Amino acid sequence: MRLHALEAAYGERVRVHWRTFPLIPDERPDRRSTAQAQEGRRRVGAEEPRARFAPPPLDTPLPSSSLPCLTVAKCAERQGAALFRTFHDRLFVAHFSDHLDIGRPEVLWPLARECGLDMARLQRDYADGAAYQAVLSDYAEGAAWFGVSALPTVIFNEKVSLVGAVPEERYRAVVDWILGGEPGGLIPLDLAADSAAPNQSPVGGGNASQPSGRETP
């Protein structure tokens, strides 16, 4: 929601591009919702009331892997920015509000159809392996180049990163500093030192924001 607000506020001066960062890159079967997971949802819902966060009932099945939903998201991206955004937003609602197991392709296909994606193309792209490899490449690059280890992480112009539930005004301050020509060459200390405790998605999906230039999803 905060990155959507940035796009609306800055228009063509800022481009947001999402990179995949699977927090569960392997297979972990039998994951279930706990009281701790419920409390985490309540906390992030309080921090971002514009988003649809709902505590999952106890013992609700949780995704056993991040890779299926992120791979389908990469496939959706091939069908255009508008369809990707629609599907991306739907994934968040499916997981954080509807408590669907988006680690299962049979759950993802109806969501993709609902979003208007070309299902024949989507399933071909999913099967050919290129999207899966793109997810792994994003993951490796995020960890090796940018030191990403938690979500959300927002990277600005490949220079500055903010981790966790950072207030929207912090994002705006960094964008203004970059658009203003990076006065002084150093980001203001109150921003550089800011690093809120990350609210980790159990599914994953790293992101990056920047003034126009090289894409960094």
CATH code at 118?
Answer: 1.10.472.60
The 3 state secondary structure assigned to 161-199 is EEECCCCHHHHHHHHHHHHCCCCCCCCCHHHHCCCCCCC
Average pLDDT, the chain: 85
Quickly state the pLDDT bin for 19 (edges 50, 70, 90): very high
Number of compact structural domains in the chain: 1
User: Residue 48 domain-assigned?
Assistant: yes
The answer to whether residue 217 is domain-embedded is no
In a domain, 175, yes or no: yes
Full domain range(s) for residue 53: 2-211
Do the domain assignments include residue 31? yes
- Does residue 216 fall inside a structural domain? no
Question: Mean pLDDT lowest for which of 10-24, 32-46, 110-124, 178-192?
Answer: 178-192
**Mean pLDDT, residues 141-152:** 89
Q: Is residue 124 part of a domain?
A: yes
Q: Residue 215's pLDDT is what?
A: 29
